[in-house]
Chains A and B, each alone.
Chain A
Amino acid sequence: MSKKLISVKVNGRTVEKAVEPRTLLVHFLREELSLTGTHIGCETSHCGACTVDVDGQSIKSCTVLAVQCDGSEVRTVEGLASGGVLHAVQEGFYKEHGLQCGFCTPGMLMRAQRFLVENPNPTEAEVRAGMAGNLCRCTGYQNIVKAVLYAAQKLREKQDAAA
């Protein structure tokens, strides 16, 4: 079972590593790259705690092999804030109390930022459908939905200001 050399761009930085084919992307991120922001929840592709972007799409990194990401661009929660400034979704979760224990939050944030690219002006129902792949055991989701709507507003304002 020979190792494979892969090259992956993670949060803007290209890394090359030899990995066992069976290494899941989430283990590659956490153990090989020490990016432990991406959490392992259910490990069965239900809970969404391990959600990251691969080539501009939300995926569950517990159910994708690292070797499958050879040549891909990956973005994790560590790549969200820039220059010490929180991303709008991070600000939203902070302002609207979108977390309690925080375990699901990295996956929530990563799905929320991608969802808001896909749908910049969502209704509450669209937020709930768009976030349906992420489970939270604390909040009851109300504040998560508010946080995503807050972030949507912020991002639209930023867009308008730039236009």
Chain B
Amino acid sequence: MIPPSFDYYAPNSIAEALKLLGELGGDAKLLAGGHSLLPMMKLRFAQPSHLIDLNRIAALRGIREEGSEIVIGAMTVENDLLNSRLLQQKVPLLPEVVGQIADPQVRNRGTIGGDIAHGDAANDHPAVAIALDATLVLEGPKGRRSVKAESFYHGMYFTEMAENEILCEIRVPAFAPRTGYAYAKLKRKTGDWAAAAAAVVMRMNGGKVESVRIALTNAAATPLRATDAEQALTGKVLNETTIDDAAARAMAICDPAEDLRGDREYKTAMTGVMLRRALASAAARCV
């Protein structure tokens, strides 16, 4: 399978890429790791006339600490997240997630920004970014703007990012000490997308849930923040009753598509199971 013909550009700076994007218009697509776009082009689901490859823009790569935030360049590849000492110390949920994405070769190419901006709710980073309360920094012809991850997703492959914008950074609050976290993912085989998955970031105080953020992967056309479940848990002791209640509330907002990974009922039930597991693991880490 060979993709349809296109013209190829490999800019060295964000400014150059934005200029190309402005000139080439709607027939241009940004190429990040290419492990979603190139397969879609082979299948003719996408047929851009122009590909703007972001891989040579050094300014879009890297992980750094800025005050209380960890700033991740959008073109940072998954294996660099997996092996980052800074993330292991400050946002350990991310390496835990990345170890469950794809396989070693794909993680050498696939990027966090591509995974987020593609707009596929089956990808893992979108829900995780929501659980982490991440901020996405977009740059367009009029400069930069910030969008909360939870406001970024409007529908399947439909995001807040405009055609003339580039996702530059993902800014994640560093974890306070004793923050619990977990990503529970059900997949048929290594490297697969989630049949169901839940991300949890939680703080406990005096045996009760002080704060919790919950987000769900592949449970609807967009990643979901389970606000109802979060509210039900806040201020409560975590036990079988409160966890069951939270799982029921999360399952109530699920609207998954039936596919090879299961029907709607199965995926919804498994989302509940993944949330129970993620809550238990996160609670155990709140120490």
Contact = CB atoms under 8 A, between A and B. Distances in A.
B280 interface: no
A45 B8 contact: no
B105 A111 contact: yes
Q: Is the interface of B mostly helix, strand, loop or mixed?
A: loop
Given A21-B51, A46-B191, A60 B106 contact: yes
Given A4-B8, A44-B39, A132-B191, A58 B34 contact: no
B109 A132 contact: no
A43 B42 contact: yes
Interface string B91-129: 000000000001111101100000000000000000000
Contacts of A43: 1, 42
B42 A1 contact: no
Contact of A65 (B34, B103, B106): B34
A52 B4 CA distance: 24
Contacts of B106: 45, 60, 63, 133
A129 B108 CA distance: 15
B115 to A, nearest CB: 14
Contact of A111 (B1, B53, B104, B191): B104
A22 B10 contact: no
Nearest to B39: A44
A59 B35 CA distance: 11
A60 B34 contact: no
A21 B2 CA distance: 11
A112 to B, nearest CB: 11
Interface in A101-133: 111, 115, 129-130, 132-133
Contact of A63 (B10, B51, B53, B109): B109
A70 B56 CA distance: 11
Category for how many chain B residues contact A: 20 to 34
B89 interface: no
A132 B5 contact: no
B179 interface: no
A80 interface: no
A111 B104 CA distance: 9
Contacts of B51: 21
Contacts of A51: 105
Interface in B119-175: none
Interface in B214-241: none
Nearest to A46: B191
A48 B39 contact: no
Contact of B102 (A58, A111, A133): A133
**In the complex, the 6 A-B pairs of residues with the closest C-beta atoms, listed nearest first:** A133-B103, A21-B8, A1-B5, A133-B105, A132-B190, A132-B103
Interface of A: 1-2, 4, 20-24, 27, 43-46, 48, 51, 57-60, 63-65, 67-68, 70, 111, 115, 129-130, 132-133
Given A44-B42, A45-B106, 4 more contacts: A45-B105, A51-B105, A68-B53, A132-B191
7 contacts: A22-B4, A22-B6, A60-B105, A68-B53, A70-B10, A111-B104, A115-B104
Interface of B: 1-8, 10, 34-35, 38-39, 42, 51, 53, 55, 102-106, 108-109, 190-191
